[in-house]
Amino acid sequence: MAKVTEEIVKQSAEERLAKYLRTVAHLGHVEITVTNFEASLDFFTDIMGLVVTEIEGDRAYLRAWQDFDHHTLILQASNVSQVKHMAWRVSSDESLKLFEKQLKDMNIDFTWVDGGTKKAIGDAIQFKSPSGLPIELYWEKEKFLTEDLNLISKLPSHPSKFRMHGVSPRRFDHVNLLVDDVKKEQEWWTNLLGIHHRYYIKNQEDVRLGSWLSRTNIAHEVALMRNSNQNGSKFHHLAYYLDSPDELIRAANIMAENEIQIEWGPGKHGTSGAQFIYVFEPSGHRVEIWTGGFLIFSPDWEAIEWESSVGKLGLEMWGSTPPESYFTYGTKIGE
Amino acid sequence: MAKVTEEIVKQSAEERLAKYLRTVAHLGHVEITVTNFEASLDFFTDIMGLVVTEIEGDRAYLRAWQDFDHHTLILQASNVSQVKHMAWRVSSDESLKLFEKQLKDMNIDFTWVDGGTKKAIGDAIQFKSPSGLPIELYWEKEKFLTEDLNLISKLPSHPSKFRMHGVSPRRFDHVNLLVDDVKKEQEWWTNLLGIHHRYYIKNQEDVRLGSWLSRTNIAHEVALMRNSNQNGSKFHHLAYYLDSPDELIRAANIMAENEIQIEWGPGKHGTSGAQFIYVFEPSGHRVEIWTGGFLIFSPDWEAIEWESSVGKLGLEMWGSTPPESYFTYGTKIGE
Amino acid sequence: MAKVTEEIVKQSAEERLAKYLRTVAHLGHVEITVTNFEASLDFFTDIMGLVVTEIEGDRAYLRAWQDFDHHTLILQASNVSQVKHMAWRVSSDESLKLFEKQLKDMNIDFTWVDGGTKKAIGDAIQFKSPSGLPIELYWEKEKFLTEDLNLISKLPSHPSKFRMHGVSPRRFDHVNLLVDDVKKEQEWWTNLLGIHHRYYIKNQEDVRLGSWLSRTNIAHEVALMRNSNQNGSKFHHLAYYLDSPDELIRAANIMAENEIQIEWGPGKHGTSGAQFIYVFEPSGHRVEIWTGGFLIFSPDWEAIEWESSVGKLGLEMWGSTPPESYFTYGTKIGE
Amino acid sequence: MAKVTEEIVKQSAEERLAKYLRTVAHLGHVEITVTNFEASLDFFTDIMGLVVTEIEGDRAYLRAWQDFDHHTLILQASNVSQVKHMAWRVSSDESLKLFEKQLKDMNIDFTWVDGGTKKAIGDAIQFKSPSGLPIELYWEKEKFLTEDLNLISKLPSHPSKFRMHGVSPRRFDHVNLLVDDVKKEQEWWTNLLGIHHRYYIKNQEDVRLGSWLSRTNIAHEVALMRNSNQNGSKFHHLAYYLDSPDELIRAANIMAENEIQIEWGPGKHGTSGAQFIYVFEPSGHRVEIWTGGFLIFSPDWEAIEWESSVGKLGLEMWGSTPPESYFTYGTKIGE
């Protein structure tokens, strides 16, 4: 603690305040392109049970029934399936300017996108991580509002009615990416974006196999896993959250009945304590449906180490073995 | 937004930084006295399935199996059943000094308790809310550590093994208090402690019936409800969190088989979306066991209003009616 | 045992064989009329998630996704909401003739309905219980078969796909009726139809308040409860079965979001151990959704007595109180 | 149907009656020897949460909390882990004599065990199936009765209190055996014991890989699976029943935390629709914990065929692959 305090006193109040303001608040949405737009849209609405906010041109804006924002997932028709942006809301209306300054100081290229250019989003700033992962930061985003009587709930806490069709998760949860150097990438995210390091797995050679990070109290909002093939970054999956293990079993039944391949699961991550299944949507993106696990409240949390002897339990504590594809397959990272 | 910004620019960076640092991080534990120590200890360990960290003299220190800290509940033998402290961890090692200054500025009496005086806790500052609710703030608290081979898990994420006995909640969740003036009390908590206002219920006469607040992303860490008898503050309940509705049903079965009175539930709060049962432990304190519900990620969340026409659904959305005792009965507030 | 054996030896092999053959096998379906056909059909398909086998004229034939037969519920448009028949499959192709003989011996009026007269049903015999409850017995009934690709499952154990919409029970379960004299009615059902008496509740005056009966291993297929108003027989409810308490909670959420009144529950019957909610469908029939509870395998089961001191726990073991309507309200018994 | 009727009319009433009486009623218990008595007893009581009825000499008598009988599992200390008997209750007090006659007619060796020789069991008859599987039939068995105040429930439907420790299944469910010729063995069980054939799996060469049978309405009480090594009969597993998928997840967590190896699962049998995990108890017997699935009510049920193209889904419908051990490993069959 002493060392940290020492560093802090050397900073001016302005510098320290800027550091507080220059953080993300939470993961907002993910924007992906899909080679089979119709089938993917059908998967996310009929099978997954997400709600369509709107479809405009080649894009569909989707959310889970209790996601409060306009969208948490954007599907865009394309001839390639890739992730275009992982978009984070920042912590205050001053944050974007502070991020701009910081990016300049770090010599990182960035692009401003004016408010209104992207549907439901205010001014945004876009840039890439060292491994080429596309990040977007914004402060303003419209809430989900509807005049559709079939969607309006009498409960003020429900931006739309509980959806009684398909998997019907409660909310968007996290994204996961394969990169070649997990440790380097994790440190960059934590330092630049203020996303706390929550837990990690190492192998016997002390190589970081995965790191999980969050700004909020959930176990992670973004995960970085080592690409076993060491052939660059890939989009591993996006995840939505269910309320119970029982709902996860129901989700697995729905997949099995509807020709959606379950890659792995039901299983339980020892790291987070969350139960999961992984499936592939029709355009090739991996989707995780998960539930449970722990929350992290401590303001000085130290990342939990899962060293090699327990790393397998960190991945799956009941004893199943992840398929080879889990460590190598991902969809593309958008240019 | 403009007005807020204007206010902000008038503040110095020091002032703004102090405001960031002078907040709580999360609810840490609750300290209650019990008239029937043996029976209450038996209830919390055998029926509820909490884990004893240690028992020393007239005090027992307890926690749920995944609470990372030394304790989240203190039971103290006494001739009265009351709440002694609701203890919050602050957001940084600088916070306590800043709170001291603020309390002085506000002319609020407080007491310093030196680190080590209270088991597992560093320096703490104690004071009361306008309604007399006893608050304790601390920065340092020992983690739970054990050498008991029956408790040690091979999973680094488990401070102790999943407990396979009794209700066995995952973690401590929140406290709830009856006060005469909810609105006034809520504003004080939000202003002084930085605990965000999440949702509230009003009656037809525009009287605030309840307010729910949290600093973290969970729906609430402290609730303030109107005492229907308007005869002063009372301790309404403390709550532990379960992983699923199914576990809640199991908890209700356990209560029913073991002569523990269920006051209300299973029911579902429309406000939070959490399922609940309320029971009375042997010394008269109300205990809530709950599960599910939503998390709040937005940094500029506006408290959801449940006006009188939907207030009943806010309390219980499936249609059951709370018993009269729910609005009037509580245990004492400690001096 | 001795006394039973003595009686048995006095019977001829023919008589004993006839008694084995002259029993029901299981409850097959219930046929109700509804004053609001469109709204009721919408409730049973959209909210309850039953599958339509066919709609013909003023009748709809419905089943749960894993009901193997053509239908387990018939809705018929009418100007009155009443139960027309509770239909039971008999235990063998010889049973109907043996029942005819027995009904004649007992001077009970009956009617033959030729096979093909009623959709999907072979020859049937119809008559009334002493309290006027309309019973139908049949041997032949078509299985559910479909050419609808949206319904066909690749799993041979699924007569149609798991339905991922609405409450979606697994199967039809039981019916319940209010009568003035429970004991008399129960004895008649057991003696004539071979439906075993499983458990019953008595009040302090030794009056039978309810009896639950089944031919199969499930806790009950038909329940008879005392009409508190003593004004004749009524149809209390029909019930469908869910797989878990968690699915029941989901069902309660669906009802709450869709303006379907939950009369009572979630609660848990101490008698069967099954969790329940009761709702009213748009034409006024009460519908129970339930899950769990015990199976009865013993061939010489003696009905469990719930005497007055525990009768309330028999009805609801967690402690909630049934509404007054539960003991008095029912829809009509068909002529 | 015509052919069956023709056969029936040729039989005398006495013959037909005998056939009705000469059937089992349900699977009663399984008796196994264990090489590590203390560890196995600890597993079944502490981890599985079964209740000890009594321990006498080298035997322990166990049951699930809602098993109504004195025991459903007998553990006996031994230097080999094998199954000694699978014990079935017969359908009436006349059955045993009728079985004796039938066994004589079929030239099958059998042994009478006088009532009282075996704890809590009346007269019993013991013999072996063609594959050498040890079968015991009995009519009389004591109910579970206790004077232990910690076990007595106020609910008359609970022979002992819901056990709030360990996995705590509701009831005993079934046994499973590896044999070399499934078809032959199945036909023998069905013909002699009246245990209905419910579903089966075939491979591409039309070889029967597994058959599942029950006398009651549950999906199966005994399963016969092909030993891939074709080296004789083995005891595959015994199974206890849980109330929900969520409880199964809890069971998997308990196993993972307590060094009990999960061989396979959580998974879902497409055949029965039941969710499962398989574990090994400390003496080497495989134990299944399962929940859900369908009941079979039809009196003329035709066994469902799972031909080779869907056989894998019959075993596990979510897509996981059974381990090799699942088709070859079992404990011994008792002499």
For residue B70, give the DSSP letter.
Answer: S
Question: Smallest Cα–Cα separation from C19: which of C88, C101, C125?
Answer: C101
Instruction: Give the dihedral sign, CA A41/A47/A48/A49.
Output: positive
Question: Is the pLDDT confidence value at A229 over 70?
Answer: yes
Residue type (1 letter), A121: I
Summarised one tens digit per residue, pLDDT across range C158-213 is 999 999 999 999 999 999 999 999 999 999 999 999 999 999 999 999 999 999 99
In sequence order, what are the residues at sequence separation of 6 or more whose Cβ sits closer than 8 angstroms to the Cβ of residue C335?
none
Cβ atoms of D86 and D27 within 8 Å: the answer is yes
d(C-alpha A65, C-alpha A151), whole Å: 9
DSSP β-ladder status, B82-90 and A24-34: unpaired
Tell how many helices (H) and how many strands (E) occur in chain B. Answer: 7, 18
In sequence order, what are the residues at sequence separation of 6 or more whose Cβ sits closer than 8 angstroms to the Cβ of residue D141?
D28, D69, D70, D89, D120, D121, D122
Phi, psi of B263, deg, nearest 5: -75, -40
* Residue C33: per-residue pLDDT: 98
Question: Residue D197: helix, strand or coil by DSSP?
Answer: strand
What is the number of residues in chain B? 335
Question: Residue B61: helix, strand or coil by DSSP?
Answer: strand
Summarised one tens digit per residue, pLDDT across range C284-334 is 999 999 999 999 999 999 999 999 999 999 999 999 999 999 999 999 999
Cβ pair C317:B246 closer than 8 A: no
d(C-alpha B97, C-alpha B18), whole Å: 10
Question: Smallest Cα–Cα separation from A233: which of A118, A134, A100?
Answer: A134
* Residue D10: per-residue pLDDT: 64
Residues of A in contact with B89 (CB under 8 A): 297-299
Nearest CA in chain C to D244: C244
Question: Smallest Cα–Cα separation from D291: which of D161, D197, D170, D158?
Answer: D170
Domain count, chain C: 2
Residues of A in contact with C246 (CB under 8 A): 244, 246-247
Establish if A165 touches chain C: CB-CB under 8 angstroms.
Answer: yes
Question: Is the pLDDT confidence value at B2 over 50?
Answer: no
Residues B189 and B324 occupy one common structural domain: yes
Domain membership flag for residue B156: no
* Residue C7: per-residue pLDDT: 56
**CA B116 vs CA B29, B142, D82: distances in Å:** 17, 11, 59
* Residue A1: per-residue pLDDT: 38
Find the mean pLDDT for residues B174-183.
98
> How many other β-carbons are positioned within 10 Å of the β-carbon of residue D221?
25
Summarised one tens digit per residue, pLDDT across range B268-305 is 999 999 999 999 999 999 999 999 999 999 999 999 99
Cβ atoms of D179 and D233 within 8 Å: the answer is yes
Establish if A218 touches chain B: CB-CB under 8 angstroms.
Answer: yes
What is the number of residues in chain D? 335
Give D30's pLDDT tier (boundaries 50, 70, 90). Answer: very high
Domain boundary among C138, C158, C184: C138
* Residue C189: per-residue pLDDT: 98
Domain CATH code at residue A93: 3.10.180.10
Query: Three-state secondary structure along B195-216?
Result: CEEEEEEECCCCCEEEEEEECC
ipTM exceeds 0.90: yes
In sequence order, what are the residues at sequence separation of 6 or more whose Cβ sits closer than 8 angstroms to the Cβ of residue B250?
B167, D164, D247
In sequence order, what are the residues at sequence separation of 6 or more whose Cβ sits closer than 8 angstroms to the Cβ of residue B3?
none
Find the mean pLDDT for residues B184-199.
98
Summarised one tens digit per residue, pLDDT across range D51-71 is 999 999 999 999 999 999 999
Residues C177 and C325 occupy one common structural domain: yes
Give B99's pLDDT tier (boundaries 50, 70, 90). Answer: very high
Residues C183 and C111 occupy one common structural domain: no
Contacting subunits of D (3+ beta carbon pairs below 8 A)? A, B, C
Establish if B153 touches chain D: CB-CB under 8 angstroms.
Answer: yes
Residues D22 and D127 occupy one common structural domain: yes
**CA D39 vs CA A245, C136, D47, D85, D250: distances in Å:** 30, 56, 11, 21, 21
Residues A126 and A179 occupy one common structural domain: no
d(C-alpha A314, C-alpha A198), whole Å: 13
Domain membership flag for residue B144: no
Residues B111 and B195 occupy one common structural domain: no
Question: Is the pLDDT confidence value at C144 over 80?
Answer: yes
Q: Please classify residue B119 by burial: count the beta carbons closer than 10 Å to its beta carbon, then call 0-12 exposed, 13-18 middle and 19+ buried.
A: middle
**CA B103 vs CA B97, B107, B124, D55, D203: distances in Å:** 10, 6, 14, 66, 78
Estimate to the nearest angstrom the gap between the alpha carbon of D220 and the chain centroid. 8
DSSP β-ladder status, C82-90 and C134-138: parallel
Instruction: Please identify which residue in the block is written with the tokens 């709060």.
Output: B269
Domain boundary among C138, C160, C193: C138
Q: Burial letters for B206-223: b for 16+ Cβ neighbours within 10 Å, e otherwise?
A: eebbbbbbbbbbbbbbbb
* Residue C2: per-residue pLDDT: 45
**Residue C26 sits in which domain range?**
11-138
Q: How far is B261 from chain C (nearest CA, A)?
A: 8
Domain membership flag for residue D154: no
Cβ pair A245:B246 closer than 8 A: yes
Average pLDDT, chain C: 96
For residue B61, how many C-alpha atoms fall within 13 Å in the half-sphere facing its CB? Answer: 19
Q: How far is A152 from chain C (nearest CA, A)?
A: 9
Is there a cis peptide before residue C266, judged by omega within 30 degrees of 0?
yes
Domain membership flag for residue B6: no
Question: What six digits make up the tokens of D19?
Answer: 């056939």
Establish if A170 touches chain B: CB-CB under 8 angstroms.
Answer: yes
Residues B177 and B319 occupy one common structural domain: yes
* Residue C1: per-residue pLDDT: 38
* Residue B1: per-residue pLDDT: 38
Question: Residue D213: helix, strand or coil by DSSP?
Answer: strand
d(C-alpha C110, C-alpha C133), whole Å: 13
Question: Is the pLDDT confidence value at B8 over 70?
Answer: no
Give C275's pLDDT tier (boundaries 50, 70, 90). Answer: very high
For residue B218, give the DSSP letter.
Answer: B
Residues B205 and B246 occupy one common structural domain: yes
Residues D203 and D293 occupy one common structural domain: yes
Question: What six digits make up the tokens of B129?
Answer: 């809310």
* Residue B92: per-residue pLDDT: 95
Residues D134 and D176 occupy one common structural domain: no
* Residue B9: per-residue pLDDT: 56
Instruction: Give the dihedral sign, CA C147/C152/C155/C160.
Output: negative
Domain membership flag for residue C98: yes
Concatenated DSSP letters for A60-123? EEEE-TT--BS-SEEEEE-SS-EEEEEEEEESSTTHHHHHHHHHHHTT--EEEE-BTTBTTB-S
R_g over Cα of chain D: 20
d(C-alpha C234, C-alpha C225), whole Å: 10
Domain boundary among D138, D157, D190: D138
* Residue B335: per-residue pLDDT: 78
d(C-alpha D258, C-alpha D251), whole Å: 11
Query: Three-state secondary structure along A216-269?
Result: CCECCCEEEEECCCCCCCEEEEEEEEECCHHHHHHHHHHHHHCCCCEEEEEEEC
Calculate ∠ Cα D220-D221-D226, nearest 5°.
75
Top residue of D297, D300, D308, D316 to mutate, by most chain C CBs within 10 Å, is D297
Question: Is the pLDDT confidence value at C8 over 90?
Answer: no
Question: What six digits make up the tokens of D257?
Answer: 């935390």
Residues A212 and A69 occupy one common structural domain: no
Summarised one tens digit per residue, pLDDT across range C30-76 is 999 999 999 999 999 999 999 999 999 999 999 999 999 999 999 99
* Residue C335: per-residue pLDDT: 78
The lowest-confidence range among C1-5, C63-67, D60-64, D201-205 is C1-5
Residues of A in contact with B16 (CB under 8 A): 17
d(C-alpha D91, C-alpha D23), whole Å: 6
Starting at the earlier edge strand, list the strands of the sheet with C222-226.
C262-268, C274-280, C286-292, C234-242, C171-179, C222-226, C208-214, C196-202, C304-306
Question: Is the pLDDT confidence value at C6 over 60?
Answer: no
What is this structure's pTM?
0.96
d(C-alpha D94, C-alpha D91), whole Å: 8
Domain membership flag for residue B274: yes
Find the mean pLDDT for residues A26-54.
98
Please list the alpha-helical segments (H only) found in B25-114.
37-42, 95-105
Top residue of D157, D199, D301, D318 to mutate, by most chain C CBs within 10 Å, is D157
Residues B187 and B133 occupy one common structural domain: no
Cβ atoms of B179 and B224 within 8 Å: the answer is yes
Calculate ∠ Cα A165-A169-A173, nearest 5°.
160
Question: What six digits make up the tokens of B127?
Answer: 């004071």
* Residue A2: per-residue pLDDT: 45
Find the mean pLDDT for residues D93-118.
97
* Residue D2: per-residue pLDDT: 45
Is there a cis peptide before residue D266, judged by omega within 30 degrees of 0?
yes
Question: Smallest Cα–Cα separation from B262: which of B299, B288, B293?
Answer: B288
Question: What six digits make up the tokens of C133?
Answer: 């409850």
d(C-alpha A13, C-alpha A102), whole Å: 17
Residues of B in contact with C266 (CB under 8 A): 266, 318
Domain membership flag for residue A160: no
Is there a cis peptide before residue B130, judged by omega within 30 degrees of 0?
no
Concatenated DSSP letters for D97-134? HHHHHHHHHTT--EEEE-BTTBTTB-SEEEEE-TT--E
DSSP β-ladder status, B234-242 and B286-292: parallel
Cβ pair B17:A20 closer than 8 A: yes
Summarised one tens digit per residue, pLDDT across range D4-20 is 555 555 688 999 999 99
Domain membership flag for residue B165: no
| A to C CB pairs, distance under 8 Å | 44
Cβ pair D254:B166 closer than 8 A: no
Concatenated DSSP letters for C195-261? -EEEEEEE-TT--EEEEEEESSSBS-SEEEEE-TT-S--EEEEEEEEES-HHHHHHHHHHHHHTTPP
